[in-house]
Chain A
Amino acid sequence: MKMKKLSIYLFAIISIFLLTGCETNMVVFNPQGPNAETILGLINWSLLWMAIVIIVVMGMFITFIWKYRERPDNMDYEPPEEHGNTKWEIIWTAIPFLIVIALLIPNIQALYALEEVPEGYEDKEPITIHVTGADWKWIFSYPEEDIETVNYVNIPEDTPIIFKMTSAGTMQSFWVPALGGQKYAMAKMETELILTADNPGSYMGKNSNFNGPGYAEMEFEVLAQTQAEYDEWVEEVKERAPELTEEKYIELLKPTHLGRLTFNGTHLQWINHADPNSNSYTNPQLYYREHGYKGKTFDEEDNYKNADEMIENEHGGDSHHEH
């Protein structure tokens, strides 16, 4: 009896949770672009079906445990030997199967749609921006404008942006929840993600794939601007921002936290980390923990320090094999 009451309490509390949860403005439920909107449609569709499943199963659960509970007056009731019931078993195999299909079809449609420039934006000339994830910052290169930013990316509204993503080292996941779903950025590979902002505004972006001690702070801002504002920003960068040098770029790749940076010129003139044959820009010696036993590291032939005499090696004695 007491237990029953407690469980009713529990459900009441959980449903209050659910309701208050829906009231807050959770970012996934507030899409600011077509990609996120497509996904939200899918999420809502699945929530509907899952709610039906939960209601049906919970209905049966509560009814059965209530109706067939042991009571002082039914102690001599001996339950029947029931082996099964083919009709019921077919029903509860078939219906979930149909639900799976009902969820699968829009899911497949969405999967294909998310890879394309969204419907209704085809006449807009898309902008390509290269994204390079590094420990622990995001580097954005605008090849057309020939500018590079760190930890923020400005984009014009209503324009599909083709993000071409790669990583200088660890695996990251590039995610701007208000604008759409995420995708990994991986070294010596290129992935592509198309995002569009419907409205001007500042949107939080982050790395969602754990990549070491600096991971929590690997966030960036997506600033969607009107076309005029955006053009003005580009103009200003071209005038004011310092030139990106190779030395400076290599410094950027070391495991650090940086604020926002802006440069003229992109690193693509020297290195595209998406190229499978590109040099590795790794610095193992910089990753030793403060405490704990240091293992040995390996000197790699294709490391930028070995492959390119052009770059002077500031950490001369670093490639240690000490043991």
Chain B
Amino acid sequence: MNIKWDEFFVTGDPLILGAQISIVLTMVGIIALLTYLKRWTWLWREWLTTVDHKRIGIMYILSGVVMFFRGGIDGLMMKAQTAVPENEFLNAQHYNEVFTTHGVIMILFMAMPLLIGIMNVIIPLQIGARDVAFPQLNALSFWLFFSGAMLFNISFVIGGSPDAGWTSYFPMAGKEFSPSIGNNYYAIAIQIAGIGTLISGINFIVTILKMRTKGMTLMKMPMFSWTTLITSIIIVAAFPIFTVALALMTFDRLFGAHFFTVSGGGMDMLWANLFWLWGHPEVYIVVLPAFGIFSEIVSTFSRKRLFGYTSMVIAVAGIAFLSMLVWVHHFYTMGSGPAVNSVFSLTTMLIAVPTGIKMFNWLFTMRKGRINFSTPMLWTLAFIPCFLIGGTTGVMLAMAAADFQYHNTLFLVAHFHYTLIPGVVFAVFAALYYWWPKMFGHKLNEKIGKWHFWLFVIGFNFTFFPMFFLGLDGAVRRSFTYSAESGYGPLFLLSAIGSAVLAIGFAMFVYNIYWSIRHADRNISSDPWDARTLEWATASPVQDYNFAKLPEVKTLDAFWHMKKDNEGLTIEDKEIKDIHMPNNSGIPFFMGVVFTVAGFFLVFEWYIPAAIASLGIFAGLIIRSFDYNDGHHIHAEDVRKVERKWRNRKGEVHKHVG
């Protein structure tokens, strides 16, 4: 093995040098802080080895927010580069790396962990369970995701970033046209994170199918639990396709196989098909949970049951089914002929029908309601017009013949940001404002929240609306620059200004977190929004064991009816029994570390070290197989103490009698 140290670190760019220095400083800072505060054992015991779904959820959310920051900086860099014609802020190579990492990070390391994090925190609570079905696997999911994310993120300072787009189309992404190792990061980091996601999918399916509390039939399940179930099913159906595609990519790039190459009988179109067979379902994987989040919030803040619950469930299932049948719409222009394109136009446009059903049901949930404009609801309301634009332009793109003029232009970029930002980012913000008190026992500040909301929403529209026109005027995507004669300048500039406003909006969010941690009122009830579902039927922040006694469900919106009928809100000492909980484990964290190390060696094509490191993976599997540790009990007396404390506070609907 011959290490070329001179190529190891990415050098020669002041931006990257700055990033390298700040990364080193941040790490030194964190280590120093932990040592100074003597927090190492705390970190290990409470977080790194935890198997508690709520803590894992919070770690996912924290990573997701950090990744949003990273992906957002990428987005801003692109906007800065294209703000004026023939700008020289980024060169072509750098721009290519930036949009590639932006796309991958936003979808896989921002949207996915934020949504999976929210699912983690909320789903067991919503279905009245004490944890997910496989708590330790859940931790493994997180650490594999985190390993993949870290591996992907270091690429820009060590070895070079992937630069073939988030779609990494062959043959360009192969060794024939991208011989530097950058794109190995794509193949390997995403593979590792993908295994984690697949495990999460399985975990949530089993959790939702097997662990619902007494009386909660499937059709009495809150909408967010439904969308999570369906999302998990899509994950299990779609992710293996990507796993295989990435494995084939790895063979091509590392070992000179010919699945997708120009030489040796490879077939580049096969990659495009496999990628989008996963890629389209993937966009529904990120948008369906968001639909669930909005459903919960619309109903809570309109003080009304979700309109057309049954048709909502059918619509989600319909969208999931159709989402597997539309992948060709990403390459109508590949020349598969009018018959194929007609069929896929039809399946794609059909998705508009169940999506429309959902839209109208949300609108009718608000009709005759009493709408409260708190921050979570504001995000939900803004989602409707913005996603409407995303959806209608989606129907336009679905028409294959018209797509010949939209394909690969900024019209498309505008379209998918109009679906992903309202559909994912607004939803995540809504969810964080809504469930923040559940997670941390205090609300986020409403006033700063409104600043955050307005700046972000206005900035978003100014950033992306001009792109529709740019696209129709022939501006293509992924182009690092354009000529002054093209006349694109003014709209690009407007869009860049919009993105700055958007960025200030995001900064307000971060500030809000900071402000609220320091100053927010801790003295709030466990049900600050007068909500409807079971996650509010316990303390905020939630105790380890979630529920002292598992709630019993008779209807949809169970907690709402418990409050209305004053049933099941009071707990007596004698009802409280010992509670069995899983033990912490260091194995998932260990697996994350060995996967990272093995992955890193593979990226650099150092096979022997990679083989040695992957022995660690087998070691982890073996240790786990002989691990007969089956948890511990929380004693009834301890549970009683905790329950007495939170239930007997002023303004609390829950009661405890001794």
Contacts and interface: CB of A to CB of B under 8 A. Distances in A.
A271 interface: no
A209 interface: yes
B295 interface: no
Interface in A265-291: 276, 280, 282, 284-285, 287-291
B520 to A, nearest CB: 22
Nearest to B158: A293
Contacts of B333: 173, 181-184
A302 interface: yes
Interface in B140-197: 159-161, 163-165, 169-172, 175-182, 184
A17 B12 CA distance: 41
A317 interface: no
B490 to A, nearest CB: 10
Nearest to A115: B338
Interface stretch (B347-355, B501-509, B585-593): B347-355
Contacts of B2: 322-323
B373 interface: yes
B398 to A, nearest CB: 8
A110 interface: yes
A58 B387 CA distance: 12
A293 B180 contact: yes
Interface string B339-351: 0011001100110
Overall SS of chain A's interface: mixed
Interface in A92-136: 92-93, 96-97, 99-100, 103-104, 107-108, 110-112, 114-115, 135
Contacts of B359: 57
A291 B279 CA distance: 30
A294 to B, nearest CB: 6
Contacts of B482: 216
Given A173-B407, A182-B407, A187 B262 contact: yes
Interface string A51-74: 001100110110011001110001
A96 B373 contact: no
Contacts of B341: 111
A100 B355 CA distance: 13
Most chain A CB neighbours (cut-off 10 Å) among B269, B349, B487: B349
A170 B469 contact: no
B335 interface: yes
A227 interface: no
A198 to B, nearest CB: 17
Contact of A282 (B7, B8, B169, B176): B176
Interface in A170-210: 170-171, 173, 175, 177, 180-184, 186-189, 191-192, 204, 206-210
Nearest to A105: B342
B369 A79 contact: yes
B186 to A, nearest CB: 13
B646 interface: no
B399 interface: yes
A276 B393 CA distance: 37
A292 B311 contact: no
B160 A169 contact: no
Given A6-B454, A93-B357, A292-B160, A84 B363 contact: no
Interface stretch (A37-45, A140-148, A151-159): A37-45
B481 A216 contact: yes
B102 interface: no
A17 to B, nearest CB: 6
A180 B405 CA distance: 7
B428 to A, nearest CB: 21
A250 to B, nearest CB: 15
B401 A170 contact: no
B368 interface: yes
B402 to A, nearest CB: 5
A36 B474 CA distance: 13
A93 to B, nearest CB: 6
B177 A180 contact: no
A297 to B, nearest CB: 5
Interface of B: 1-2, 4, 7-8, 10-13, 92-93, 96, 159-161, 163-165, 169-172, 175-182, 184, 253, 256, 261-265, 268-269, 302-305, 307-311, 331, 333-335, 337-338, 341-342, 345-346, 349-350, 352-353, 356-357, 359-361, 363-364, 366-373, 378, 381, 384-385, 388-389, 392-393, 395-396, 399-405, 407-409, 450, 454, 457-458, 461, 465-466, 468-469, 472-474, 476-482, 487, 604-605
Given A10-B461, A99-B352, A100-B352, 5 more contacts: A93-B357, A100-B349, A110-B401, A215-B96, A298-B256
5 contacts: A68-B366, A177-B474, A181-B333, A191-B335, A322-B2
